[in-house]
Amino acid sequence: MNYFSTDAIIVYAFLFITLAVGLWAGRNVKSIKEYAIANRTYGTGVLTITMLATYLTGSQAIGYAGHVFDNGVFFPFITRVFCGVIICFLFIARYIAPKMYRFAGCLTLAEIMGKLYGPKVRIWIGILGTLYSLIMVTLQIIWLGYIGDFINIPSQWSIFLGGVFLMFYASRGGMKAVAITDILQFVAITILIPLAANVLLHRFDGIRDMFTHVPSENFNFFQHLNINEFLIPFLWYLFPAFPLSFPFMQRMLMAKDTRQIANSHYIATFYLIGFYLLLTFIGLAAIALKTMGDVNIPHQGSKIFIYLVKTYFPVGIKGIVGIGLLAAVMSTADSFLHSAGMLVAHDVIGPLLQTKKTKIDVLKISQYATFSLGLIAFCIALSYQSLPRILYGDIHWGKGINIFRDFVAIVFTIPMIAGIMGLKTDAKSFFISLIATCITFFIGKLFLSDLWFMPVTIIINAVSFFGAHYLQNKGFLTVKRDEILVT
């Protein structure tokens, strides 16, 4: 492989610029509040950008275009965009954002759960959230190797550069470094998709010509689907676990007020609709190229985006596309890495040592924890040869390391939403739902099909949580969080 091809040099330059910007932005961090939420100094624009950069993971572009190639237009749009973006983001803006002022002063999702359910729950969520975030970081760093391969950079070399760089700037500067590098990475992502669509458009005599080569069944809602194949993804994307997970709650906590939180989600909704429409165009372009006689196009949608880049994109443009994909990976990885370090220091080590009346420097512990967890993820990725599963199809799920991540997502989402919305909270109902979910999760893995496994586990979590609450209180009780945060 050529380590210094034009495309490789473009990618190297982006990596070094990202490192320099991150180290510069994160200089002189002096308090844990500054490290965790940047002292709530950023405006709506930065808040929206850093949230979007975190949301657009390394598999988003590749996965969604592949969805369109496999299943046509409507199924991906209804599940991923309508359910996963429009409904979830508007729900957060309308119902979660107005109530976040009640948690002013909190720095993490685990601390919010501690306010709602008590210190033991805070520590448990801190531990579970650390593992959740560490898995996300590991999966993203593995994607660095995948991206390196397609622009002819050895996978371990791209993992080394990207992984080491994000460890340094995320651990040193915290949210200030992450937010500013997210802006740089967001610009790269925003350039990537329109550029890719424009390059592919030049393979046709205009948009109309492309659509004439797309078979009509690709616009049929039930192109390849039965009701089960539609219903389960529909329900899963409605479950707002990811957009309410650990780094996203930190974005809400770093907002100046609730209006800023709501506005950032409204803006993000419109941006993501346009983003996915362009990815739909790329997927349809691949279908048209296949219809026009490209016999080498892969049959699996998961391989389509990379094939298009390798086959139809000229030198230089491949490097720019590589930067965009790299930015999507690093902006997600650094956010989850920062969250993991904060959870370890602020919500696990800090509370445990406080019970022993031991004075600690939470800022220093956060920095060391972030670097150490990044190093763990980096080492796993270097020794890990399979790709993380893209969000559909039969591609390997990364040897199952995502299973625990899904479990944690189910455990915290419903209790957190219920508490924020005003349900009377107590630790007993949380731990009952945790135990019931754990039992269901592992039994379900043995006896339930993949199609029904996650919906059944979510239902059991909800039934056990609300059932325990109902039995304890002989009904459903709410409280005014302005007066009582722990009941």
* Angle subtended by helix axes 317-342 and 155-201, to nearest 10: 130
In degrees rounded to 5, what are phi and psi of residue 441? -60, -50
pLDDT computed for residue 272 by the predictor: 94
Which residues, in sequence order, are CB contacts of 252 under 8 Å at separation 6+?
A: 96, 97, 100, 261
pLDDT computed for residue 386 by the predictor: 46
Residues of the chain with pLDDT below 70 are: 1-4, 58-61, 149-150, 221-229, 384-401, 481-487
Which residues, in sequence order, are CB contacts of 294 under 8 Å at separation 6+?
A: 311
pLDDT computed for residue 315 by the predictor: 79
pLDDT computed for residue 390 by the predictor: 41
In degrees rounded to 5, what are phi and psi of residue 190? -65, -30
CA 118, 122, 128, 129 torsion-angle sign: positive
**423 bridge partner residues:** 478
CA 438, 440, 446, 450 torsion-angle sign: negative
**Tokens read off for 17:** 């610029």
Q: Strand, helix or coil at 359?
A: coil
Query: CB count, 10 Å around CB of 450?
Result: 10
All domains in the chain, ordered by first residue: 6-406 (1.20.1730.10), 422-487 (no CATH)
| 208 within 8 A of 61, measured Cβ to Cβ | no
Rg value, the chain, Cα? 22
Closest CA to 241 of 26, 428, 417: 417
Rounded Cα distance between 97 and 265, Å, is 9
